[in-house]
Chains A and B, each alone.
Chain A
Amino acid sequence: MDKPLWDQVKCGNVKAFGTLYDVHADFLYAYGMKIVNNEELISDSIQNLFVYIFEKKESLSEPKSIRAYLCTSLKHMVLRQLERKAKNRIVSFETINEYDFELDIDIETALIQHEVEKEHLVKLQKALSALSPQQREVIYLKYYKEFSNDEIAEILNVSNQIVRNISSRALIKLREIGNMKFIVSLFIV
């Protein structure tokens, strides 16, 4: 669906561009908010990203995966914004690049929607927080957003094999912490 849409966007079709935004805006927002929990900054970055794409549409190459391209671009844009803000606060660029990628469980919603005990949720949250930011990002992209290993590799700027390694290590770590499969299974019921 994305490729013909992208072609139309490149031709300057504003309606197609609107559709591109409708399809990807929610995911981009959710992804951006994991990098930095700042609604205004993420909204502005998404706006700037789409405006940039429209203005440079003719010179843009066709990405292998549009959502991976959007994801990567948004991440760079957010980090650049943070870098700009940090200039006045003496924060190193390395610090900015090391974002947390927090996966905060919405405990209240989980309790309402699923018959789970709060202690299980707290345990799951602890397990997720114990992962490295990169592992959390891979878990999120792979299991929440169903990105392929290649797409994740593009976003993280690593090889496909490294993505697989990160993913398997993350799952091993989750298993070590507790019976996460059991907790997760509670949500399927």
Chain B
Amino acid sequence: MMDWKDISKVPLKNEVFLRKDKVRAVIMKRCYRANRNRKLILFSRKLLAAACVISFILSLTYVVSDVKVETFEMSERIGLPDGSTVLLDQNSTVRYNKIAWLFGRTIHLDGGAQFEVTKGPRFSVVTSMARIEVLGTDFDVDVNTPNNLRVFCKEGLVRVVGPMVDQILSEGDAIELKEDTVLYKPKLEDYYEFESIKLADLAEKLSSYFGVAFVVDPSVKNFLYSGFIPTASMEDALDIVTNTCDITYQLKADTVYLKNK
């Protein structure tokens, strides 16, 4: 009995795939490569997801770690994470971040404060006018108005850095920034020592110390002076000089006259 399906016994042309193995090799190679790339992409995605989660947690922690202290009627003493202390003046604000603190001791100040800093990495106070880098231990910072900053170094060293200033303050030094002017006030020593200095030259120095003009009589201007001069009081200083050189002085308005007795 013959069926039409027996027609399949009649051989046809082009039934044998001669390049079958070659094509298979190419397909397999591409499949293995696609699988490898896919694994790589999946791994990258997981890594990215993990990074996103970590970033989110870190950001959240950072935000939560922000500390802000504000005073109104009363000043307040604040302890910082490293043991340093801030005596915050009335109507002042300090702000720092606990996480950022681990990488650098930086505190933002608006108003006035007195800092006592423990030893450690650089301690910086950021104000609207300048950045104060603390190299010592005890200092005052006062930002009374947006354009008025005063820094006084009680101990150690303090560096004040801003658009118009870069000054290191030693113990007793102070600096004031008022709008466009910088007023640096170095500490006066309690006593200055002089050795055979002409009276005319000494008068010039005293003039700069005490902020008064000096007029030295020609008869005494070449007198030599050796000894200490106190800086606390101008009168004391003039008494010592005039007694030693056996001369006299007269203070009229803002001018001191030195002359023979």
Interface residues of A, Cβ cutoff 8 Å to B: 12, 14, 17-18, 21-22, 25-26, 29-30, 33-34, 37, 39, 43, 46-47, 50-51, 54-55, 103-106, 109-110, 113-114, 121, 124, 139, 142-144, 146, 171, 181, 184-185, 187-188
7 residue pairs of the A-B complex, CB under 8 angstroms, read A25-B17, A26-B20, A51-B31, A105-B11, A144-B7, A144-B8, A184-B6
Contact A29/B6 with A14-B28, A14-B32, A105-B12 known, Cβ cut-off 8 Å: no
**B60 in the interface (beta carbon within 8 A):** no
Question: By the criterion of a CB under 8 Å from any partner CB, how many residues of chain B are at the interface?
Answer: 29
Contact A12/B10 with A26-B20, A47-B27 known, Cβ cut-off 8 Å: no
**Which of chain A's residues has its CB closest to B19's CB?**
A43
Query: In the complex, what distance in Å separates the CA atom of A105 from the CA atom of B8?
Result: 11
**Which of chain A's residues has its CB closest to B18's CB?**
A39
Q: Are B12 and A185 in contact (CB under 8 A)?
A: no
**B34 in the interface (beta carbon within 8 A):** yes
Q: Are B4 and A184 in contact (CB under 8 A)?
A: yes
With A30-B12, A39-B14, A43-B19 known, 12 other A-B pairs at CB within 8 A are A18-B24, A26-B20, A29-B16, A43-B23, A54-B31, A105-B11, A110-B10, A144-B8, A144-B12, A171-B4, A187-B6, A188-B2
Q: Are A184 and B7 in contact (CB under 8 A)?
A: yes
**B118 in the interface (beta carbon within 8 A):** no
Chain B hits for A30, CB < 8 A? 12, 14-17
Chain A hits for B27, CB < 8 A? 17, 21, 47, 50-51, 54
Interface residues of B, Cβ cutoff 8 Å to A: 2, 4-20, 23-24, 26-28, 30-32, 34-35, 38
Q: Are A113 and B30 in contact (CB under 8 A)?
A: no
Chain A hits for B38, CB < 8 A? 12
Chain A hits for B7, CB < 8 A? 139, 143-144, 184, 187
Q: Are B17 and A106 in contact (CB under 8 A)?
A: no
